Structure 1
Amino acid sequence: MRPVTEWNPASYVTLADVEPAIALTPLDGRYRSAAAPLVDHLSEPALNRARLFVEVEWFIHLCATAAVPGTRELTADEVELLRAIPAEFGAEGIREHAEIEKVTVHDVKAVEYYIKRRIEGTSLEPLAELVHFACTSEDINNLSYALMVKGAVEQAWLPAASSLVSQVADLARETKSVPMLSRTHGQTATPTTLGKELAVLAHRLGRQLSRIERQEYLGKINGATGTFGAHTAAVPGTDWVEVSRTFVEGIGLTWNPLTTQIESHDWQAELYADVARFGRILHNLATDVWTYISLGYFAQAAVAGAIGSSAMPHKINPIRFENAEANLEISAALLDTLASTLVTSRLQRDLTDSTTQRNIGVAFGHSLLAIDNVRRGLGALSVNEAALAADLDGSWEVLAEPIQSAMRAAAIAGVPGMENPYERLKDLTRGHVIDADAIRSFVDGLELPAETKSRLAALTPGTYVGLAEQLVDSCLR
């Protein structure tokens, strides 16, 4: 008998046949709970529900504006019947739409037929041809995607991202007075406070949130090549531009008056660039916090029953931040692809945007997952002030900067004996182990004004933090 054998999934249970269906992507499997809020907005059924909404509202709008001769004002019951179609679109409706699409091989046409089935035999049946009147599929799709993305951002992504930024800002305020040794180029540098460094990241993230909160979501409904050709051919006496504008604005979007067959998607590229940039800044936060953990500045709470390493029992790994890094990289790559692909369409229309936009949910899902991990990671941290203080106490050389700066100021004021301050501090500190006595001895030997000498002699690496604390108070929103 052979001691080992080759891997051969073909001889095992076919997992694709297992019921209920097994998720292919981790967002629908392992990470389902983090990404679940997006299902109502960016899944395939959510797309078809949004299409139903747009078609129904267009029907209602055409009647309300008397845009087409032969229409009439709808009764309250008729409006309720129509609006119930998207509102009640659930498991049975999803299956029915799929069955219709198997025949039509066209998802938007299947939406049209789905609606017509529901008004058959009602008082609305004589008006059935108002469903999808003068529309191309992209009239429905662009509005649906705009509504979906708007809902996903405003109702799922922004609340999570805003809570994260608030959490970082709160931690910055709590630690604004905790002195910390800086590291520039990985070397000891001018001290700061832990809170001030966290505030920098909170401020950066907050700026991106402000941009995203102001995002416009554009839409159009102007026909097969953006000319209102079918509209004016069928009903030349209607002001179709005004009907279009009031409809798009009425469903909560910004009207785009000039397009080809497709809405140009520029707003999507703008949004995805901002969300990706938010993610890259968050990635910076994750790597910085990971480094602070490795330096011992943060301790991580032990979770009962959790395993840090399968071999090393002592470990509590910073997995939340590592998970966030990876998911932010995936999200940014997808958002970049969406942004670069969607702004280009051959001549008046090609179909590259169709399959591309179906991945919007994946891009936002990985972003939301990363946000969730960072929030959970931050929530398990506690500050190890002793480790921060020990690093500072071992780095008295950082006081070379304030001393040489004070000497420069004294030289400008005409105090004698202040020549070559930078070079003298460089000779004292560079490549040497410096302690408090060495610094104070150097200061004591200077002919500085008494007030200046006293202030410098009292300075320690832990008190040399400038206006760090005030900056946290004044700059965080």
Structure 2
Amino acid sequence: MSDPHQTYENPLISRYASRAMASVWGAQRKFSTWRRLWIALAEAEAELGLPITTAQLDELRAKADDIDFEAAAAYEAKLRHDVMAHVHTYGDVCPAAKPIIHLGATSNFVVDNADLVLVRESLELVAQRLAAVIDALGAFIATHRALPTLGFTHLQPAQPTTVGKRATLWCYDLVLDLAEVEHRLASLRARSVKGTTGTQASFLELFAGDHAKVRELERRVAAKIGFDASYAVTGQTYPRKVDAQVLDCLAGVAASAHKATTDLRILAMRKEIEEPFEPHQIGSSAMPYKRNPMRSERIGGLARFVMSLAQNGAATHATQWMERTLDDSANRRLSLPQAFLGVDAILVIYENVARGLVAYPQVIARNLAAELPFMITENVLMEAVKAGGDRQELHERIRQHSQAAGAVVKQQGGANDLLDRLRGDKAFAAVDLDQIADPAQLVGRAPEQVDEFLAEVVEPIRQRYANRQAEQEALRV
């Protein structure tokens, strides 16, 4: 036996993605699906009058999961054709049914329909993982709905918001991603039985020119593999536009995770919010004090990889000449599974991060206080004018005080003393500076927006996916 440590292993499988997603794209699942497609085809052909016996169908069903992968590899080495290798491997264990396996079909009957089944299952898993991260972020958002924090635009201090409101931005990106995943699922169709160039000529021949039976065959095969419709027209393959749309969707999920965890890395640098850090976790081999945001960094790295795969879908779709070319095959074997594995890994880590986020309110308050005096100057100006002051004179006084306070901060490394300067200026004696400088009065409707977001956006997703999980558990019993 060869030593597995001597050859490269894809870290998406060995290190990052879940077993659930990895098994969807494993050889057993793929080729068992091929066999179920051959069974569905044979069943539908028998139902519509072709001479296929019950004994042949029973034989096919009995061996659906009993795959001799070594025999298939030997056939492929000889035939240089993966589909025919598996036709022969299946036929060897189903001798009675061997003559009718793949009857009327082209290779892409099994290749494309199986891929659509796997894409559907993978999208369903991605949707569940998105819902789980949305739920986890929702809990963090609720906890910190009203905790004031310094806002940033252009990565420069800006009007205060709340920690919970900021996290709604991360969460809402995922809500939009979930809607797109659900749309892709709702739009997914079967290829079903379209024939070699999409004309269904072979099936029309099998059914002696009966167009109605060919259409019914297509409907029945699609239904047997869980689709209520087929793509209206195809060449030899289902439209590769579908792959491009799916990869774009997955890239969108990756981009959302990248954005949020980049924010978290910046906030960790400011010591305001940190991802979970385990008791024995080592942040740096050289610097023992380090608490590096390893999970967020991993998400960023995986996200860039997934985003890059979107190019493959567009390029492959663009180069499918006429009814098809085969240069899609090798690319799709890499881009489709790895995009799903990458997004799966991202969301598994993201949920872990979201459920373990730690906020440090005192640091957040301190950082806000350092910038707050500058941000309330307009409010101070308005209140002083209301008290009878001259707007232009007051503006100049505030400008001078602000410049002086800024010089203390930047040139001397001191604290922002603008409020003390304003308190010492008689022109602002009538202004309640403490009330104006209360951070809770400066966050607008942020807490209320959080409440509305949780009730109107997050909670329906929680309920919908809790119900789905309950339904799936009931089916397993």
TM (normalized to structure 1)?
0.82
Tell me which residue corresponds to 1:337: 312
Tell me which residue corresponds to 1:318: 293
2:111 is aligned, of 138, 141, 147, to 141
Q: What is the identity percentage for the equivalent residue pairs of Structure 1 and Structure 2?
A: 20
5 Å matches for 1:4-403? 17-19=2-4, 22-31=7-16, 34-66=17-49, 68=50, 70-71=51-52, 74=54, 79-86=57-64, 88-89=65-66, 93-121=68-96, 125=97, 128-154=98-124, 156-215=125-184, 216-220=187-191, 221-234=193-206, 235-239=208-212, 240-253=214-227, 254-299=229-274, 301-359=276-334, 360-395=336-371, 396-403=373-380
Letter matched to residue 436 of structure 1: L
SS in 1 for 2:368: helix
- 1: CA distance, partners of 2:404 / 2:218: 73
Letter matched to residue 30 of structure 1: R
- 2: CA distance, partners of 1:442 / 1:57: 86
Deviation at 1:57, TM superposition (A): 0.9
> For residues 210 and 405 of structure 1, do their structure 2 counterparts lie closer, same or farther at Cα, with a shift above 3 Å needed?
farther
SS in 1 for 2:85: helix
Deviation at 1:335, TM superposition (A): 3.1
Write the deviation string for residues 229-249 of structure 1: whole angstroms up to 9, x where unpaired: 122234212521232133224
Letter matched to residue 367 of structure 1: V
1:471 is aligned, of 443, 449, 452, to 449
Tell me which residue corresponds to 2:468: none
CA contact under 8 A between 1:286 and 1:321: conserved in structure 2? yes
- 2: CA distance, partners of 1:286 / 1:116: 51
> For residues 236 and 404 of structure 1, do their structure 2 counterparts lie closer, same or farther at Cα, with a shift above 3 Å needed?
farther
Letter matched to residue 88 of structure 2: Y
Letter matched to residue 229 of structure 1: A
Deviation at 1:460, TM superposition (A): 2.2
> For residues 158 and 290 of structure 1, do their structure 2 counterparts lie closer, same or farther at Cα, with a shift above 3 Å needed?
same
Deviation at 1:103, TM superposition (A): 2.6
> For residues 248 and 98 of structure 1, do their structure 2 counterparts lie closer, same or farther at Cα, with a shift above 3 Å needed?
same
Tell me which residue corresponds to 2:402: 429
- 1: CA distance, partners of 2:365 / 2:239: 56
SS in 2 for 1:223: coil
Deviation at 1:443, TM superposition (A): 10
SS in 2 for 1:176: coil
> For residues 394 and 81 of structure 1, do their structure 2 counterparts lie closer, same or farther at Cα, with a shift above 3 Å needed?
same
CA contact under 8 A between 2:276 and 2:353: conserved in structure 1? no
- 2: CA distance, partners of 1:308 / 1:183: 28
- 2: CA distance, partners of 1:168 / 1:141: 39
- 2: CA distance, partners of 1:85 / 1:103: 23
SS in 2 for 1:355: helix
- 1: CA distance, partners of 2:43 / 2:395: 77
> For residues 461 and 304 of structure 1, do their structure 2 counterparts lie closer, same or farther at Cα, with a shift above 3 Å needed?
closer
- 2: CA distance, partners of 1:207 / 1:405: 40
Letter matched to residue 326 of structure 2: L
CA contact under 8 A between 1:269 and 1:343: conserved in structure 2? no
Write the deviation string for residues 202-240 of structure 1: whole angstroms up to 9, x where unpaired: 011111111101212223221111111122234212521
SS in 2 for 1:350: coil
Going by fraction, where is helix more abundant, 1 or 2? 2
Tell me which residue corresponds to 1:10: none
- 2: CA distance, partners of 1:419 / 1:146: 69
> For residues 381 and 257 of structure 1, do their structure 2 counterparts lie closer, same or farther at Cα, with a shift above 3 Å needed?
closer
Unpaired segments ≥5 residues, structure 1: 1-15, 448-452
Unpaired segments ≥5 residues, structure 2: 407-416, 459-477
> For residues 115 and 300 of structure 1, do their structure 2 counterparts lie closer, same or farther at Cα, with a shift above 3 Å needed?
closer
CA contact under 8 A between 1:320 and 1:377: conserved in structure 2? yes
Write the deviation string for residues 374-413 of structure 1: whole angstroms up to 9, x where unpaired: 33333443211110010122121111344567799x79xx
> For residues 161 and 300 of structure 1, do their structure 2 counterparts lie closer, same or farther at Cα, with a shift above 3 Å needed?
closer
Letter matched to residue 391 of structure 1: N
Deviation at 1:265, TM superposition (A): 2.1
SS in 1 for 2:24: helix
Deviation at 1:120, TM superposition (A): 1.4
TM (normalized to structure 2)?
0.82
CA contact under 8 A between 1:443 and 1:457: conserved in structure 2? no
